[in-house]
Structure formats: structure tokens, C-alpha cells
Structure 1
């Protein structure tokens, strides 16, 4: 089942006998998912599985809904904030989709430069490393092993654990959970019937919630649910702000207003492509064609030929993708001056320091 069809079914948008049967089958599958989750939770709660505490402050930035909720820009935001506060920071990520051994710790970057390619590190760790020069980024599927490696190699005051909410083997001092205001609770069901990675009750573990895209819609109801599940956690609200358009052939940066009134082909392979497209519309782009690939898709020459052909057919003046997608494009296909990458950053709207003490 492709992503678009799955989303139409789990959201209830798809109607009729077929989608109803599919929802029933997915609901049954969610029951098995819950059994696996419950077994792991019970093992931790009973002490059969142990958390390991390391000699650094560990702050996890994760989510409870599968797909894009703003974790990557949140990691970048908090890494910069802690660094500006005089802390020595390192980022530890699983490195999803990389070609290197998943449980071997590797330094994507150190204090001087990025050492690995996107394929070796994974797209998100590579992007984080490029955005955070001077801040080490490490990848390892085994978070405990990765944390020990990070401390031995870089001696950080703080380890930011990227996408760490479900990885409980490494003890943490803070659990920041990103909640996308556009779909805060994953249609109310566990995977695969919905998008929840854990039941909502798991949010009781969080110490802070970062509600993303809070400027785009009313998130009062979502915040009320968060306060019911976890009355003590701090709550921040944030907006995704477009900051630059980057020409991918030469790396030059341009103001986002250059797309105002322009015909654009948007393409992406991320967890929340609708949010990317909405951001383009907010800066004035006229999207004449949108192409969506699967999350973490690695592009090849055939993909780029298709994108170029669709751009010509639709009369698009620019082809625009996300910064995360841009690192997954083959270098030899970035020659067009009309191929752009959109860079965004998180801006906190309320409680500017509350999760950062």
C-alpha cells in the first residue's frame, strides 16, 4: 500500500466498502503492534530491561506520531541555543537509511568539518551536521553504545538524542516531544491503523512538548489533551519559518520572495509533504505540479529526468524541494539554475526558554 492511499484510508477520507475493510484489517494489525509495545514497556517498568545513564546530560527530541513533526529543525534549534548558552553539545542519531553498519558508531562531523557523505550518515544526520558546523554529530543504532562513543570522543556537556522518545535504553534528563498541530495524534490509532508510534498515555513520560506549526491553525484542543495526559510537562509553541532559497547548482542563497507569483513544481520525499507545499504557497509560489516520493527517498537520474520533464510540461519556472531532499539528489543532476532547495527554521512563539533550562 503506497503512502498516499494509506493516508486516505487511515484518515477516513477514503470511503466505501473497500476502504472500510482495509481499516478493519489495519485495526487488527494495530493490535499486534500494541502487544509488542506493551511487552517492551512492561520489561522496562519491571526492570527486566535496564536504562543506562551516562556522564553527560541527555536530552531526547522525539515524537509519538510517525512522519514529519519537525524533529530535525528542533534538534538544530536546541543545539544552537545550548551552544549559545556556553554548553558543549553533541548530537546522537540513529542514522536512518544509511549504508554503513547500523550499530557501529560513526562521527558524521567533528569540531572542524563534516566527515561522512549523506549515504554514509543518513540524510537527517548529514543535514544536521551541515547546519551545525563545530557541533559533533554521531550516528549509531545502539544509542547506549553511541553515547559512550560520543562522550569518549567529544566530551560534551549535553547529548541531544535525535528521535529518541521510543528508545528507552539510554536514560535521559529531558524528553522533548514534538507535536505537529496539523495532525497532533496520528488519527487516534496506533500503527498501522493510524500513525501513533505509542499510545497517548506514553506522553506522560515527556518533560516538554514542542507544538509545531502552531501559527497555521488553532491548537487549543491539542494542548488541552496534552495537559490532560501530562499536566506537569512544559509546552512550547513554534512556527516553521522559511529563511532561504538555495540554488543547488552553486549554493547561492536567495530571499524567499523570489518565488512570489512564480509557477513552481514542488517535489519531496519527507514525512509531511503537505506542510512543505503549504509553506511554498505562504511565500507566494503558484504550485502547478507537486510530486511526492516516499519518505527518505534517494533520488536517481531517472527521477530527476521525470521531474525536469514534468516541470516543462506544466510550465513551471522553478523546481523546488526541501533541504532534507536536497542532500539526497545526485550531484550530477543539480546543474539547473532553476533547481532550488527551501531552508526552514523553527521559531518559538511562546515560553521561549522553558524547555531549555
Structure 2
């Protein structure tokens, strides 16, 4: 059972578009046409006005979306940081820092690659997560990504900037635009905001240098191949010259945030289980744009989902939330059932790790992304990053 809690503000409402009733979607479509027109005018104004696009003295690689979120962008940015480092590059990550509280007076260094300086509330949950996961890679935030990039170059001397969620950030010139597309979305049937999830019309994909399909693993096995073929055909109609790749999301490990987790308390050697939650009841906790992914991974790895506390994206957790999870766990025990473990994501874990849990068994599920057909992907990257 997935239950949404705490509708807080309009940006977070957009994360819950999957829950809109069909009638509400239909009524919102006229606003979507106006939104699309406004987006086109805004982009044209940014590009064509004098000095409209800023260029940095090092290559800029953008990882972006055409939709409002939930495509796997953050783990893909981590993958790109690791890939670039393995190629001998010195990347720095630049992000807007959605929800951050401290960047209004200028760019903020979340991490210098060695030490993390900002809390999740100061940096935003996703930049903080990238700062924790991307060892050796500086992370800088500011709405003006060009300013953040200049600070990164001045302080850390990177030879490539990795731009997080910047496909619609028209003020900064890029050398490589990578756009993720979630296979759960139909390119021909997904409306523009506010009726649907699209930030731009699908034709905007012609600006991309590559499209990466994601989240086939969240579909039923019998659906995957048909959906893949249908989506590729639709994307090719909108962007016929853009190469298409595919990435998968896998459970790569876990860490205990609080309490005792019982058997299988160490990660399995082969990476495919059994996990501490395999065969056991679990309570899921997440604040994601599309929380169904955590539910799919929990079930695929053997968890028996009791309930999913699905908060709106970027939700800030507090003691009242922890009390709700504890009450449900106590109710299960009082009914004579096994007490559930609590599973959450790494993105949520950075916000939960400072909250008192008082022994609640909370496990952070660690995921990673892998690009399928790695030789073709690596050849593409090498060709684009080393044109001569």
C-alpha cells in the first residue's frame, strides 16, 4: 500500500502528478499549452539575447531530464563522476541545489572532494548525497550554474564540469547533453506541466547528444520488451539522429542507519541476496518524485511490503514521522505478526541520519546504475570527449 502524505507546496505537488485523476489532467491541458509556449519563449530569449549563454573554459557535460523527476538522474550523475574519474579526468559537480537555504549570496561548496561541509537542509538532499557518494569530486551549488562552475574552476581546477539537472538551464553552454527517459513514460502520451510530467515538448530531445532509457526494471517482466520497442520508436520520431542507450538500476548494498537488522547483516558477496529484508515484512519510507521504484526494488529482493510512507519529494523529516513508523511497527507486533524492518533510500538516508531513531531498525538501500552495452557507451563517451 502506497500512501502519499503532506502536500506542502506547488513544487512538491508536481512530484505527485502520477496521482492526478484523469479529469484533473484533462482540465489542466490548456495550461500545459501555455506552459509549453512560455518555455519556448524563455529559451529563445536566453539564447538569442546578447551575452545570453555563458561558456566555461572546460567541457560541460549535462545530465538532465525532459520530465519533472524520478528518472534516476542522481545515481546517473554519480555513475558519470565515477566514469570520468576512471578515464583520468578531474570532474566537479555543479547543481542548482533545490531546497538549499544558504546559496542566495553566491555559490556554495558542498564538498571539496574530501570533506562534506553542508547539511542536507543547507545543500539540498541530492547535492548532499552526491557529496557523500562521489569521493574526490567537488560539489558546488547555486541557481546560476555558470557562477557555480567558475567557482569550481577557480578553487579545484577540474578539467570537466558535470552539470546536474541542467537540460533546461539555457544560460550555460554545454558540450554534451545526456537526457534520461523513464520507460514508464510514453513519449506520445505524456502531457506538459501541469497536466503531466513534461517540462518541454518531446521535440526538445533533438538538442540532446544521447538519450538514456531508465527503469525498465520497475516494469513487469512481460511488459519490458514491448515498452522498450514502443518507446525507442517514439523517441526516434522526435529525435531521429540522437543515439539511444539504456541503463539499469540495481541494489548494490545497504547500510544500517539504526537498530538491529537481524540475519544477513553483512552485504552478500555476490550482490544478489539474501538481504536482511529478504523474506521479511518491511515498512518503506521515501520522499521521491516517483516512489514506486523503491517498492519495486523491495519486492524484487524479497521484501514483503506492509506499507509505504511516500512523502512528497524533498520532504524534511521530523520526529512526528518517526513516531508514525514506530506506531505501525508496534501495531504489527501487537497483532502477533513479525515486526517489520524499515527500508529507505540513500537520498532519504542523508536526511534521516541525524534524527533520533531510538533503536528502530532502519536500513538504507544503496543502489547504482549501470549502462547496458558498456563497450558502445564507452566508445561514445571517448569519441565525444576526445574529438581529436
TM (norm. structure 1) is 0.91
Are positions 1:8 and 2:19 aligned together? yes
Query: 1:353 corresponds to which residue?
Result: 378
Secondary structure of the 1:344 match is strand
Query: 2:204 corresponds to which residue?
Result: 202
Query: 1:309 corresponds to which residue?
Result: 327
Deviations 1:278-329 (A, max 9, x none): 0111101010111110001010000111111122324542000111011112
Offset of residue 31 of structure 1 = 2.5
Query: 1:222 corresponds to which residue?
Result: 231
Offset of residue 48 of structure 1 = 5.4
Secondary structure of the 2:296 match is helix
Query: 2:10 corresponds to which residue?
Result: none
Contact between 1:248 and 1:335, CA under 8 Å: does it hold in 2? no
Offset of residue 112 of structure 1 = 2.0
Map 1:1-357; keep pairs closer than 5 Å.
6-9=17-20, 14=21, 19-20=22-23, 22-44=24-46, 46-47=48-49, 50-102=52-104, 104-185=106-187, 187-215=189-217, 216=219, 217-218=224-225, 219-249=228-258, 254-255=267-268, 256-257=273-274, 258-314=276-332, 315=337, 316-329=339-352, 331-336=354-359, 338-350=361-373, 351-357=376-382
Deviations 1:134-157 (A, max 9, x none): 110101110111111111111111
Offset of residue 34 of structure 1 = 1.9
Secondary structure of the 1:356 match is helix
Offset of residue 190 of structure 1 = 0.4
Comparing 333-342 with 171-180, which one deviates more in the overlay? 333-342
Structure 1 Cα separation of the partners of residues 164 and 266 of structure 2: 27
Secondary structure of the 1:340 match is strand
Deviations 1:53-96 (A, max 9, x none): 11111000000011210000000001001101100110000111
Contact between 1:113 and 1:134, CA under 8 Å: does it hold in 2? no
Secondary structure of the 1:353 match is helix
Contact between 2:17 and 2:197, CA under 8 Å: does it hold in 1? no
Gap change, CA 1:265 and 1:240, over 3 Å in 2: same
Secondary structure of the 2:244 match is strand
Gaps of at least 5 residues in structure 1 are: none
Structure 1 Cα separation of the partners of residues 379 and 229 of structure 2: 19
Secondary structure of the 2:302 match is coil
Structure 2 Cα separation of the partners of residues 31 and 201 of structure 1: 14
Structure 1 Cα separation of the partners of residues 15 and 101 of structure 2: 27
Gap change, CA 1:178 and 1:184, over 3 Å in 2: farther
Gap change, CA 1:243 and 1:113, over 3 Å in 2: same
Secondary structure of the 2:31 match is helix
Gap change, CA 1:106 and 1:243, over 3 Å in 2: same
Deviations 1:18-52 (A, max 9, x none): x52x2343112213212321211222454456211
Consecutive aligned runs of 4 or more in structure 1 exceeding 4 Å deviation:
1-6, 250-253
Contact between 1:65 and 1:186, CA under 8 Å: does it hold in 2? no
Contact between 2:73 and 2:165, CA under 8 Å: does it hold in 1? yes
Contact between 1:61 and 1:176, CA under 8 Å: does it hold in 2? yes
Secondary structure of the 2:194 match is coil
Offset of residue 120 of structure 1 = 1.3
Aligned-residue Cα RMSD (Å) equals 2.2
